[in-house]
Amino acid sequence: MCLFCKIVRNEIPSNKILEDDEFVAFHDINPKAPLHILAIPKIHVDSFNEVSPELMAKMTTFIQKIVQEVKIEKSGYRVITNIGDNGGQEVKHLHFHILGGAKLKWDHFSDSDPQGHF
C-alpha cells in the first residue's frame, strides 16, 4: 500500500487540516513555504494522468475549502501537482501541493536548461 493510502487509513500519522468522505488535506512534512498543504483523494489514483473529470471537479471544490479554512484565498497561493519523473513526482498517489503564506518565487524549473529555453 502506498504512503498516502496509509495516511488516509491513519496507519501513518499526519497533521490533518480538513477531511471529508472523499478527500483529505494535511501539512507537508517538508514544507517549501510557510504554509505547505497536500490535498489528496482517499481513493488511490496514481497521478493527474489518471484522474477523472468528475473527481477533479470535486477536488477543485475541496481545495477551495482548504484555502478558505487557512485564510489564504485573498493573499494568494499556488497549486501544483507533480507528474512522473520529469515532473518530480515522488509519491505515486495523486496530490496537490498548496503553497502560501509568503510571496512565492517563480524561477529555475529545469536543471538541464537553466536559461529556461528547454
Q: Where on the chain is the footprint of ligand AMP (CB under 6 A)?
A: 3, 12, 14, 28-30, 38, 82, 88-91
Which is nearer to ligand AMP, 24 or 38 (by Cβ)? 38
Give least dist CB 83 to ligand AMP, A. Answer: 9
Instruction: Check 93, 95, 97, 108 and give the catalytic one.
Output: 95
Partners of 49 in beta bridges: none
How much helix, strand and coil, in percent to the nearest 5, is found in the chain?
A: 25, 20, 55
Q: Among candidates 40, 37, 47, which has minimal Cα distance to 4?
A: 40
Give least dist CB 106 to ligand AMP, A. Answer: 17
- Tally Cβ neighbours within 10 Å of residue 24: 20
Which is nearer to ligand AMP, 30 or 115 (by Cβ)? 30
Give least dist CB 87 to ligand AMP, A. Answer: 8
Q: Is 95 a catalytic residue?
A: yes
Cβ(101)–Cβ(28) under 8 Å? no
* DSSP structure class, residue 70: T
Q: Give the active site residues.
A: 95
